[in-house]
Structure 1
Amino acid sequence: MKKTTEWLKENLVTIYDENPYIKLLDISIMHVEEGKVELCMPVLAGKHTNLYNIAHGGALASLADSAMGIACATTGKKVVTLEMNMNFIKGAATQAAIKAIGKVIHNGKNTMVAESEIVDSQNQLLAKTRGTFFVTGMFEENKE
């Protein structure tokens, strides 16, 4: 992978913090390195939960998609999701935060493949996801 600029690493948090959907779900970027990212999201009753009072699959899918997309972004590439496969392993009860670890497993010219794992506060696996992403361009300083 190409060396990610320090500018991009420093500004990914700002770029994603300004996204209304990321704000809606209370997703936060905890750690960024080239090809890998760690996000967290609370599971709040009535906001992130379904009628069984566990995390809604759509909230988990959004967290996983964001983790993979941001992991791709750490390489300097702008991407959109082409496809995503998600296996739900265990329900997530309400809690202060669950964690998604996204990492790039293929960094191609036109497409990228990434995966993510979502774990609960006891580090138990909740979901495993793999996605293919289409490269739409490159991040450039002062042009986002």
Structure 2
Amino acid sequence: MYQRVAKMTGVKLPPARFVRSVLKSFMAESGLEPRLFGPHLRVVDASKGKVDLELDITKDHTNRLKIIHGGTIASLVDLGGSLAVASEGLYSTGVSTDLNVTYLKSGGKVGDKLQATAECEKIGKTLAFTKVTFTNAQGELVARGSHTKYVAAAWKGSHPYTPPEGAEIADEVD
């Protein structure tokens, strides 16, 4: 997915490249996301307010019934909500205040792909409200989640779609 890494300063990026750069930061700086998702999670596309994700389900994502674990989906609601905030132009995506998940049916087993669409429904000076929907390989809705983020501190010193100084920016492979 990434060809090379560049460090750029003060450069405004298109939403998809910006969101992929934010995901790269999560993978480099966080403890959970790189261990749980690693190379199996991809940003398929992103535009202002919307991010499409895809997860290749591996054994590490499943429960003892050999289907995707609810905790994996809950973690994707958390990360997806953060990336939806990033799709609005914020590199710092705030902190969670509320997270909810509703499971409708099995999301898949090892070898399946789980699709997710994360949307920022409303963003203000203090809070952002996001939703994430999940579909299985057959296109059926399998889960949905909501995620509220406190973003007041994220706005400080922020320039829309501009990574902070020293941030690694991944060039996309066409």
| Alignment check: 8 A CA contact 2:80 2:132 kept | yes
Q: Which gives a bigger RCO, structure 1 or 2 (Cα 8 Å, sep 6+)?
A: 2
Q: Could you report, residue by residue, the CA deviation over 1:82-130 in whole angstroms, capped at 9, with x for unpaired residues?
A: 1111100111221331111010111111101010101111111111111
Q: Are 1:134 and 2:150 matched, yes or no?
A: yes
* Largest Rg, 1 or 2: 2
The residue number in structure 2 matching 1:30 is: 44
The residue type equivalent to 1:28 in the other structure is R
**Percent of pairs with identical residues:** 21
TM-score normalized by the length of structure 2: 0.72
Tell me how far apart the structure 1 counterparts of residues 21 and 127 of structure 2 sit (CA, whole Å): 25
The count of residues paired between Structure 1 and Structure 2 equals 139
| Alignment check: 8 A CA contact 1:41 1:63 kept | no
Aligned counterpart in structure 2 of residue 113 of structure 1, from 116, 119, 129:
129
Supply the RMSD in Å over aligned alpha carbons: 1.9
Q: Are 1:122 and 2:138 matched, yes or no?
A: yes
| Alignment check: 8 A CA contact 1:83 1:133 kept | yes
Segments of 5+ residues of structure 2 without an aligned counterpart are 1-11, 168-174
Deviation, 1:42, is 1.4
The residue type equivalent to 1:35 in the other structure is G
Q: 1:142 to 1:90 in 2, by over 3 A?
A: same
Deviation, 1:17, is 2.9
Tell me how far apart the structure 1 counterparts of residues 99 and 87 of structure 2 sit (CA, whole Å): 19
TM-score normalized by the length of structure 1: 0.86
| Alignment check: 8 A CA contact 1:73 1:79 kept | no
The residue number in structure 2 matching 1:73 is: 86
Deviation, 1:131, is 1.3
Deviation, 1:63, is 1.4
Tell me how far apart the structure 2 counterparts of residues 49 and 90 of structure 1 sit (CA, whole Å): 14
SS in 2 for 1:13: helix
| Alignment check: 8 A CA contact 1:17 1:23 kept | no
